[in-house]
Amino acid sequence: MKKVLYPGTFDPVTFGHIDIIKRASELFDAVHVIVAINPSKKPLFTVEERVDLLKECLKEFSKVTVDSFDGLVVDFAHKVGATGIIRGLRAVSDFEYEFQMALMNRKLADDITTVFLMPHEKYTYLNSSIVRNLASFHSDVADFVPLNVKQALENKYVNN
Ligand code: ADP
């Protein structure tokens, strides 16, 4: 049973994240999506909201579970018996940070391997912060996020 973690901020989940999750679930037996509790990032959505949005749009994926976590990803991996960490690579600009994280995680836990997946090229320009920005200007984000996320964004920005 090959279980992998897909950690991230998911503020909010986009079609880019979902593309990666779909690819991971075709490769592994179980994909555990974990939302980082990282107050220093001052997220728009609370951890509970981000988990609920992910659960709602991933309910068709039988191999995927969603949780939140605080602390080190490698500790969480040991706790749940995962042997890999999935990360998405969109462009060269992602590489340096992701490479550093992957090597640090390997230094911390050599039994956990980071695997990079590339989304469909139509998602390479997409990230959560662009989506938040567009939504804050009441621009339509239907091409970038599932309907439940679009509605949640509209609710956040309804009065401003
Ligand atoms: P983090 O703060 O951990 O980077 P994100 O939610 O921004 O959290 O991203 C989580 C993971 O998903 C990262 O590996 C990131 O590179 C990847 N990711 C984000 N957006 C996309 C996208 N459009 N296509 C593919 N991967 C993506």
Supply the CATH number for residue 15's domain.
Answer: 3.40.50.620
pLDDT at residue 160 greater than cutoff 80: no
Judge if the beta carbon of residue 127 lies within 6 A of ligand 1. yes
- pLDDT, average across residues 37-49: 89
Of the chain, the end-to-end C-alpha distance in Å amounts to: 48
With the most atoms of ligand 1 within 8 angstroms of its CB, the residue from 10, 15, 17 to mutate is 17
Per the structure, the count of domains in the chain is 1
Task: State the pLDDT at residue 41.
Answer: 77
pTM exceeds 0.85:
yes
Range of the domain at 49: 3-156
Task: State the pLDDT at residue 101.
Answer: 97
Condensed to tens digits (0 to 9), the pLDDT of residues 77-133 reads: 999 999 999 999 998 888 999 999 999 999 999 999 999 999 999 999 999 999 999
Contact 6, 27 (CB under 8 A): no
Residues sharing a CB contact under 8 Å with residue 141, sequence separation 6 or more, in sequence order:
131, 134, 135, 149, 150, 153
Judge if the beta carbon of residue 119 lies within 6 A of ligand 1. yes
Task: State the pLDDT at residue 158.
Answer: 87
